[in-house]
Amino acid sequence: MSTPARRKILQYCNLGRLRYDKALEIQEQQVQTQLQALDSRKSDGDSHPSPDVLFLVEHEPVYTAGLRKNEFTEVDEGFLRTKGADFHRTNRGGLITFHGPGQLVAYPILNLQRYKPSVRWYVCQLEEVLIKTCQELGVESSRTENTGIWVEGSRKVAAIGLNCRK
């Protein structure tokens, strides 16, 4: 007799419109909750892990610079701030990204061990979901050699930046 597949639970939370730093604080709290649950499961065998969460948010105008942030000087940062947007250096991959009103930003906080522990696999899955979402909306999109999803060959419709731990 085969064991039934365990159902994966993903909770989602619409945070509405928030400043980037406040949304980051909420994400960090969830990451800590998941890491603590993971550590306690290892020590006491608890079979009820912390659920994966998808946060949806619309940010106030902000530029975020990823791990390759050394390519952005304080002069660059000052210039971007004159545009009326906040600026934050982040611990995710990628270069610089603008987030602002009218953009939906999704922050999944997942334990990849529940799926397939491969970052490349995960990025491909995210891209596929984005392509299918665009298709549902009547927008033709595709992958390129660069991470993210593109329309009309050269216009980015979705950026992907990740931070992976443990």
Q: What is the pLDDT of residue 20?
A: 95
Domain shared by 93 and 147, yes or no: no
Q: Are 51 and 10 in contact (CB under 8 A)?
A: yes
Instruction: Give the percent of the chain with pLDDT over 90.
Output: 38
Domain shared by 21 and 79, yes or no: no
| Local confidence band at 42 (pLDDT 50, 70, 90 cut-offs) | low
Q: What is the pLDDT of residue 95?
A: 76
Element (H, E) at 75: helix 74-81
Assess whether pLDDT exceeds 90 at residue 60: yes
Assess whether pLDDT exceeds 80 at residue 41: no
Q: What is the pLDDT of residue 69?
A: 53
The domain tally of the chain equals 3
Sign for the pseudo-dihedral over CA of 107, 92, 98, 142: negative
| Local confidence band at 25 (pLDDT 50, 70, 90 cut-offs) | very high
Contacts of 139 (CB under 8 A, 6+ apart): 151, 157
pLDDT digits (tens, 9 = 90+) for 67-80: 765 667 788 888 88
The parent domain of residue 94 ranges over: 61-99
